[in-house]
Amino acid sequence: MTSINFQFFIENDSNPFILFSNTGKIKYLNNSAEVLMGSCRPKEIFDLALTHAPQTFGFKKSILNLNFNSFQFYGINILYENDNYIGIHLYNKAIDKVEKEMVLDGFSSTDVNMLLQANMELFNMNYEGKIRLLTDYDIPEFQMHQNNFSLLLRTLFSQFDSSKHLDINMKIKLGEQVMIKEKKYSIIVLELKSDTRKSEADKELKKMANKNCIDIQFKKGSITLEVPAISS
């Protein structure tokens, strides 16, 4: 067993693993953890590890729901064998599987960046705050109902019409896919974030998102969509 390169298996595990020093400095993180670090601060993870650490040397697993932007986890495992280092494993939630029939009537090949830009500019005509857009322009075209998604976007933007600023981020979710009727598709993550937002339309937004197999997550100052990039 001593000849086996266990670091290779940890390095390429789809579940993030991070090793901290006792002062909170990162000593090692695998590939999945490197991606996660773009959505949270190391101190958040270190504090999480300390909070759920076992009282004595060893390991302790905890079941809990964690969300860091588009990353979702169902549990963690905290490990330490001395006072110098502490490790944490975060366990990804399973790939979503949509059982209902996906009706593609009205769907067409769409450049989601162009659709987002058009609706953003429409909103910005009467918006007094500042908008900052960060997007992946290499996202390929995929199938969506353009009118339904535009209506969803307009309702989303209206949640932030009284905010001082609005950050819009769109990217492909790495390492995860959604399964619809036995087919796997990439996930496009769209996040709108600000200092404040209205919540009166949350139920309406939930219905609109579910109609198109879009997962929607609400927080006090943000809304995140996970859109299946359905290919024909």
pLDDT digits (tens, 9 = 90+) for 73-107: 889 999 999 999 999 999 988 655 444 455 566 78
Q: Are the C-beta atoms of residues 162 and 198 closer than 8 Å to each other? A: yes
Q: Per-residue pLDDT for 168 more than 50? A: yes
Confidence of residue 5 (pLDDT cuts 50, 70, 90): confident
Q: Per-residue pLDDT for 61 more than 70? A: yes
Confidence of residue 231 (pLDDT cuts 50, 70, 90): confident
pLDDT digits (tens, 9 = 90+) for 139-164: 999 998 899 999 999 999 999 999 99
Position 174 scores a pLDDT of: 75
Q: Are the C-beta atoms of residues 20 and 87 closer than 8 Å to each other? A: yes
Q: Are the C-beta atoms of residues 58 and 79 closer than 8 Å to each other? A: yes
Q: Per-residue pLDDT for 11 more than 50? A: yes
Q: Are the C-beta atoms of residues 221 and 181 closer than 8 Å to each other? A: no
Position 180 scores a pLDDT of: 74
196: nearest Cα among 160, 223, 169 = 160
**How many CB atoms sit inside 10 A of residue 90's CB?**
23
Percent of the chain topping pLDDT 70? 92
User: Could you tell me the two tokens for 111?
Assistant: 């450049």
For 51-89, b where at least 16 C-beta lie within 10 A, e where not — what string?
ebbeeeeeeeeeeeebebbbbbbebbbbbbeeeeebbbb
List of domains in the chain: 6-92 (3.30.450.20), 98-228 (3.30.565.10)
Position 93 scores a pLDDT of: 81
- From CA 162, how far away is CA 147, in angstroms rounded? 25
Position 44 scores a pLDDT of: 93
Confidence of residue 219 (pLDDT cuts 50, 70, 90): confident
Q: Per-residue pLDDT for 39 more than 50? A: yes
pLDDT digits (tens, 9 = 90+) for 177-199: 777 777 888 899 999 999 989 98
Q: Per-residue pLDDT for 19 more than 90? A: yes
Give the residue-averaged pLDDT of 192-218. 88
Query: What is the tally of helices (H) and strands (E) in the chain?
Result: 6, 13
Position 102 scores a pLDDT of: 55
- From CA 85, how far away is CA 70, in angstroms rounded? 28
Helix residue spans in the chain (DSSP H) = 6-11, 31-36, 42-52, 112-124, 146-158, 202-211
Position 133 scores a pLDDT of: 94
- From CA 155, how far away is CA 172, in angstroms rounded? 22
